[in-house]
Amino acid sequence: MISFSDLYCVLTAVVPLYVTMFLAYFSVKWWTIFTPDQCAGINRFVAIFAVPLLSFEFISRINPYKMDLLFIAADAVSKLLILFVLFSWAKFSKRGSLDWAITLFSLSTLPNTLVMGIPLLKSMYGDDKESLMIQAVVLQCVVWYTLMLFLFEYRAARNILIQQKYFNGTNGIINTERNMDNHGGIQKLGGGSVGGEDENFNKVAPDSKGFNPIVTAAAAEEDGVCEQSVQACHKEEENKTKKIDGEEVGTPEAIKVTEYSSSISSEMLKQILKIVWFKLVKNPNSYASILGLSWALASCRWGIKKPQILENSVTILSNAGLGMAMFSLGLFMALQPKIIACGNRLAAYGMLVRFVAGPAVMAVASIGVGLRGTILRVSIVQAALPQGIVPFVFAREYNLHPDMLSTAVIFGMIVSLPVTVLYYILLGL
């Protein structure tokens, strides 16, 4: 059972993160030290420098030749199973969408193993299980964060090409290259799209014909035109309720975009994958994973050590990675009208996905690949850890449900200790 000293060890790892987060929150909410643009710049620093160097640091320290293959297989099977279910739902269900598939995948499969997992699992199951948690962290950095970046970039490229395909040749022509350059669609995270692309995709220029009665009213000043103006306004409001993939759009013309989004041609798919490839090539997180794994393979094979200058250069920024990520989270919280930014219902759904669905699928996958005993319990408890911080950084950088991820991180870290202890007790019965 967990002793008080073990609990204190966990708190010493978690409490400083909350101190950092609330310091950032008060800096904006009370002291108004940072502007929204400065907050965005801080998150950009985290995404471009701190997170990649943190990933490189952890990956380069692992011994790839001494990995627990069954544990890795269970982790991979659980994530691939969830990925298959979510993308089948996005493809075949009318209520499904790529956006929510990406977010739900992050919520259900990417826990905070680094901060919470290592001290907590060591306290529960002994020091020898620390290596399993480090392996889980490395797999997240090398495989699953890279996959997340691919999905983010795929979504951004798909929306841009769909927008270009629809608007070219119409009255609402939009020059796609100019649109991406002016609104940040290609300027973020090594060429990744952030928020401008989504906003432009969902905000279509109103049909000018719908406003002709208003113009006529201003010119003719006739009594009957007022009624036409009111009808036109009502028509405009009704148009705003139409949705594409769950998002509001401006006019009936935008509804036609769904015809393209539901069926992507092979030629369009090639263009999307080409765009995604070039963006990932310029993404520092991709290089961090490749270089970190390459160094780990070489150093463990031939006993090579990093030069002290290189070691210190990497460490000085990687040590700030988690702290800066939490600082960015606090800044984001302060810019929202309320702490539970996504609303109570979505927050409840997120907690269910994080603490129930994820561990349940992990249990099935672990048993399926043959895990038994203590390692089986470790794999399930590890899946019940709170939401990871790095996925929030990516979600904010690409502007895909950052409110949902921020709520999952904040409240996940609050309730994670009693939840994981409950799993520990139940699995030990």
Residues 248 and 341 occupy one common structural domain: no
Residue at which a domain ends, from 217, 246, 267: 267
What letter would DSSP give residue 196? H
User: What was the pLDDT predicted at 166?
Assistant: 67
Task: Report DSSP letters for 2-29, one per residue.
Answer: --HHHHHHHHHHHHHHHHHHHHHHHHHH
pLDDT given for residue 237 in this prediction: 42
Residue with token string 């369009």: 268
Residues 191 and 132 in one domain: no
Q: Give me the pLDDT at residue 126, please.
A: 78
Residue 190 class from Cβ within 10 Å (0-12 exposed, 13-18 middle, 19+ buried)? buried
- Confirm whether pTM is higher than 0.75: no
- CA 190 – CA 79 distance, rounded (Å): 26
- Predicted pLDDT at 73: 93
Q: Are residues 41 and 27 in the same domain?
A: yes
Domain CATH code at residue 115:
1.20.1530.10
Q: Percentage helix, strand, coil, to 5, in the chain?
A: 80, 0, 20
Task: Show the domain range for 114.
Answer: 4-161+268-428
Of 242, 267, 292, the domain-final residue: 267
pLDDT of residue 18: 83
Is residue 166 included in any domain, yes or no? no
Residue 72 lies in a domain: yes
Residue 171 resides in a domain? no
Residue 285: name the closest of 273, 293, 296, 275 by CA.
Answer: 293
Per-position pLDDT tens, the chain of length 429: 566 776 777 778 778 888 898 899 999 989 989 998 999 899 889 888 888 888 888 888 888 888 889 999 999 999 999 999 999 999 898 888 999 999 999 999 999 887 778 777 877 887 777 788 888 888 888 899 989 999 999 998 888 888 877 666 444 434 444 444 433 343 444 444 444 444 433 333 333 333 343 333 333 443 443 444 434 444 444 444 444 444 444 444 444 444 444 456 788 888 888 888 888 888 888 888 889 999 999 999 898 888 889 888 888 888 888 888 889 888 988 888 887 878 889 989 999 999 999 999 999 999 999 998 889 999 999 999 888 888 988 898 898 999 999 888 888 877 877 888 888 888 876
Question: What is the pLDDT, as a whole number, of residue 10?
Answer: 72
Asked if residue 242 is part of any domain, the answer here is yes
Helix (H) or strand (E) holding 248: strand 247-248
